[in-house]
Amino acid sequence: MADYAPVDLTAEGQVEFELNGRRVSAPAGTMLVDAAYALGVEVPIFCYEPRLGAPIGACRMCLVEIEGMRGLQTACSTPVQPDMVVRTNSDIAKDGQDGVLEFLLENHPLDCPVCDKGGECPLQDRTFRFGPGRTRFVEAKRHFPKPLDLSSVIALDRERCISCYRCVRFSQDVAEDKALVMQERGAAAEIATLTGDQYEGRFTGNVIDICPVGALTSIPYRFTARPWDVTNTPSICGHDATGTNVELTLREGHVARVTARPEPNYAVEEGWLSDLSRFAYEGNRAPDRLTAPLIRDDGRVKEASLDDAVDAAALVLGRGGRVGILVGPTATVEEGFLAQELARTALGGARIQRLGIPGAGLDAIRSQPRAELGDIDGAGLVVIVGGDPPNQQSIVELRVRKARRRGAAVITVGPRPHALEPVGTAVRSEPGRLAAAIAALDLPEAASTIVLWDEADLAAEPDAAGALARIVGDRGASQIELGADVNGAGLRALGLGAGDVLEAAAAGEIDTLLTIHADPLDGPGAADWGWALGRVRARIAIAAYASAVTDASTVVIPAATHYETDGVYVSMTGRAQRLRPGATAPAGAAPGWELLIALAHRLGAPPPYRSAARAFAAAAAARPALAGLDYDVIGVLGAPVAAVTPVSPNGVNGPREAAGTGLPLVTTTRIFGNAAAHRSEALASVRTGAELVLNPAEGERLGIADGARARLRSPHGECILAVRLAADHPAGAAFATTGVPGAGVERLLPADRGPVNVEIEAP
């Protein structure tokens, strides 16, 4: 269970003691409750949660008898000592545990049949296992109006709360949003926000998981199912590159809930989820979800069966024309590999590339020793270069905050302000001048240093990658890439590079384009792609959601989402992890890997495998970065892939000049501002839109007021955005939000996501 800290019973520095008559040992300093659990003895707990920090002994549930000590002791706050004699099951210990449970249940409502925690409730379980068989209380229980909406996604049933402080401690000491408090004292104590407003943040849903009773429950899941109605499946979040481990709750073919896994992956997310990872599942059935294949003929669009759509796609691809293939950043390793095999065999000579960060010029930093996210916890110095981790790789924020609480120094370097800057020392760099800021860093000595660097920012400034690599090498440090693309590392491991499909299409050298989870018309270089694709005769789209690409495709084949398919994603730290289906794809859709195998069969080049596992095995046999991996090796927690060198031949070794005139454009993606958040009704109240942020001095110079609208123009396109003036954003740059559906900020960017300047004016 996640409630107990893992204990290495083979580590050095063991101390011997007696536990319930047995002579045992555990590492010095281990809390007795954790040592006992590791040795097969469960001491009941409620307030104790090692991920929240030092124990506070608030609930008194873990009372045990320790020989030589007056009264009963709390096992959660008592470290093991040599030769101590501990009894967890003696009459006096049992009497203490019974008394605590009897007290906690004095006012707890007997509404287990309707409580969403029923069947998976620690209070319920521990009452049966450790509590008295009957109660002496006959007085009426207290009642409150129920429930209160602590937020748009969290319901609070106050009468169920046992004042364990877990949710408050998460808010105060882990997320550090300081929003939740325990107001009043004694019988009047209750959970609330400090301001009285709704509880909002990037990680609020974690209080649902750690609540040991039914006081905090999920509003989207409330009254949806009971534990015996559902199936829980371990999988991976498909909304960012961190590889966050999740558990999918399946009911009647649909994802009914996403939670942290019962056993956290301490190398990755440590059991904490962002609210995007937790609540974006509602978008799996969004209105723009593709559920039926479509075939366009003579301008008319008709629905078709999957078999007919695959037949039609194979007919178009097999005409003998020149074929281009685009693989999107959410494609699995299997889908990327099968696309490569299709290009190599049945479509010999087809051009293929992946969409996403080109990655040229990053070999110097990528070749440095890699770290896992869990390694951040013990670092003495954490350096964050570029990006906006709280919004783009949100779990990183919790790791960095934890490292700072443990004494680490934190330095952030980059052109944009973000929520981790106040945690340490912030060094503001000019847009396009990261290398100079890195070279000027005066880093303190530290026993252990980890450097986190943003893939997009350093790809735009390859000289910065070299400067950073020298720091990492000189200090004997390790590094973590803050990846922009969900499975960018997995597609790079296959050797999928930036390629030249855009140039070939623009030159009229592609007759048919196959897109796989790829929409170039809604990303950087959209205008260039739009013109180039106008010269392509036929398009075939394998996609989960409708887009500008599917709207103009000859054949559209609906694909399963990451909630509905087997497959492998490789996280930004190089950890290969398995997706497992926690829902059933619509009847008119299928996993992308299955569709590609079917296409290969129709085109006369059937592969010798018919499952995702076998396709991955073939990829591992053919690609050195994946060597030695299979589904069994990856298991539940994942396994590292070999370091991958860049695959783009178009390396850039010096600074890249920004195209256009005006202010340098600095972009970022907000956690609740992307397509996944906008598809989920659960996140409706926290969704963010696109905006242009300027320093007030820039606003005054341009004659644009706060709240006005402005037109942005670059050599690649234009868009209109709302303006916000903010003093924490430096002058001399324009800050715009990407990822928001329909906002069009991506039209300002070149296809290779290089630096660009924008002209700004009132529309």
Q: Is residue 88 part of a domain?
A: yes
CA 726 vs CA 247, 432, 673, 694: distances in Å = 39, 21, 19, 6
- Residue 331 and residue 371 in one domain: no
- Residue 220 and residue 314 in one domain: no
Q: Is residue 118 part of a domain?
A: no
Q: Is residue 649 part of a domain?
A: no
- Domain finish residue from 285, 309, 334: 285
What is the value of pTM for the model shown? 0.95
Residue type for position 642: A
For 154, the domain range is: 142-285
Please name every residue paired with 747 in a beta bridge, in sequence order, or none if there are none. Answer: none
Question: Residue 161 has what pLDDT?
Answer: 94
Question: Residue 446 has what pLDDT?
Answer: 84
- Residue 382 and residue 304 in one domain: no
Q: Is residue 590 part of a domain?
A: yes
d(C-alpha 323, C-alpha 457), whole Å: 32
Mean pLDDT (the chain, rounded): 94
- Residue 720 and residue 674 in one domain: yes
CATH number at residue 205: 3.30.70.20
Q: How many other CB atoms are found less than 10 A from the CB of residue 649?
A: 10
CATH number at residue 370: 3.40.228.10
Q: DSSP string of 405-458?
A: HTT-EEEEEESS--TTGGGSEEEE--TT-HHHHHHT--PPP-SSEEEEEEHHHH
Question: Residue 654 has what pLDDT?
Answer: 53
- Residue 636 and residue 701 in one domain: no
Residue 658 clears pLDDT 70, i.e. is over it = yes
The three-state DSSP-derived secondary structure of 122-185 is HHHHHHHHHCCCCCCCCCCCCCCCCCEECCCCEEECHHHCCCCCHHHHHHHHHCCCCCEEEECC
Chain length of the chain: 763
Question: Residue 652 has what pLDDT?
Answer: 44
Question: Residue 645 has what pLDDT?
Answer: 55
Question: Residue 334 has what pLDDT?
Answer: 98
Q: Taking residues 401-421, what's their average pLDDT?
A: 96
Residue type for position 92: I
**The two three-digit tokens of residue 187, written as one number:** 């019988």
Question: Residue 644 has what pLDDT?
Answer: 64
Question: Residue 752 has what pLDDT?
Answer: 85
Residue 19 clears pLDDT 70, i.e. is over it = yes
Question: Whose structure tokens read 């003895």?
Answer: 41
- Domain finish residue from 594, 625, 640: 640
CATH number at residue 688: 2.40.40.20
Q: Is residue 681 part of a domain?
A: yes
For 372, residues 6+ apart whose C-beta sits below 8 A from its C-beta are 267, 268, 480, 573, 575
CATH number at residue 91: 3.10.20.740
The count of C-alpha atoms lying within 13 angstroms of the C-alpha of 658, restricted to the half-sphere facing its C-beta, is: 20
For residue 655, name the pLDDT band (cuts at 50, 70, 90). low
- Domain finish residue from 609, 640, 671: 640
**The two three-digit tokens of residue 663, written as one number:** 């202010």
- Residue 209 and residue 273 in one domain: yes
Sheet of strand 216-218, all strands in order from the earlier edge strand to the far edge:
148-149, 154-156, 216-218
Residue 372 clears pLDDT 70, i.e. is over it = yes
Question: Residue 411 has what pLDDT?
Answer: 97
In tens, the pLDDT along 730-757 reads 999 999 999 999 999 999 999 888 899 9
For residue 651, name the pLDDT band (cuts at 50, 70, 90). very low
- Residue 371 and residue 340 in one domain: no
- Residue 513 and residue 615 in one domain: yes
For residue 763, name the pLDDT band (cuts at 50, 70, 90). confident
Q: How many other CB atoms are found less than 10 A from the CB of residue 174?
A: 21
- Residue 210 and residue 334 in one domain: no
Residue 433 clears pLDDT 60, i.e. is over it = yes
Q: Is residue 722 part of a domain?
A: yes
- Residue 147 and residue 244 in one domain: yes
Question: Residue 656 has what pLDDT?
Answer: 67
In tens, the pLDDT along 544-586 reads 999 999 999 999 999 999 999 999 999 999 999 999 999 999 9
For 533, residues 6+ apart whose C-beta sits below 8 A from its C-beta are 505, 513, 520, 521, 539, 549, 552
For 298, residues 6+ apart whose C-beta sits below 8 A from its C-beta are none
Q: Where are the alpha helices (DSSP H) in 623-713?
A: 631-634, 675-679, 696-702
Q: Is residue 135 part of a domain?
A: no
Question: Element (H or E) spanning 506, and its range?
Answer: helix 501-506
- Residue 348 and residue 494 in one domain: yes
Rg value, the chain, Cα: 28
In tens, the pLDDT along 322-367 reads 999 999 999 999 999 999 999 999 998 899 999 988 877 899 999 9
Q: Angle at the Cα of 464 (from 459 to 467), degrees rounded to 5?
A: 140
Question: Residue 648 has what pLDDT?
Answer: 45
The torsion angles phi and psi of 365, rounded to 5 degrees, stand at: -85, -35
Instruction: Give yes or no for a contact between 154 and 217, defined as CB atoms under 8 angstroms apart.
Output: yes
In tens, the pLDDT along 691-722 reads 999 999 999 999 999 999 999 999 999 999 99
Question: What stretches of 244-389 adopt beta strand conformation (E)?
Answer: 245-251, 254-259, 294-297, 300-303, 323-327, 351-354, 381-385
- Residue 100 and residue 157 in one domain: no
Residue 647 clears pLDDT 80, i.e. is over it = no
Alpha-carbon dihedral of residues 46, 47, 53, 54, nearest 10 degrees?
-110
For residue 650, name the pLDDT band (cuts at 50, 70, 90). very low
Which among 516, 522, 492 has a CA at the least distance from the CA of 591?
516
Residue 298 clears pLDDT 50, i.e. is over it = yes
In tens, the pLDDT along 493-540 reads 999 988 899 999 999 999 999 999 999 999 899 989 999 999 999 999
In tens, the pLDDT along 448-485 reads 999 999 999 999 888 999 999 999 999 999 999 999 99
Task: Report, in this order, helix, strand and coil percent for the chain, each rounded to 5.
Answer: 30, 20, 50
In tens, the pLDDT along 235-288 reads 999 999 999 999 999 999 999 999 999 999 999 999 999 999 999 999 999 999
Q: Please, what sign has the CA dihedral across residues 682, 684, 690, 695?
A: negative
Q: Is residue 650 part of a domain?
A: no
The number of distinct structural domains making up the chain is: 5
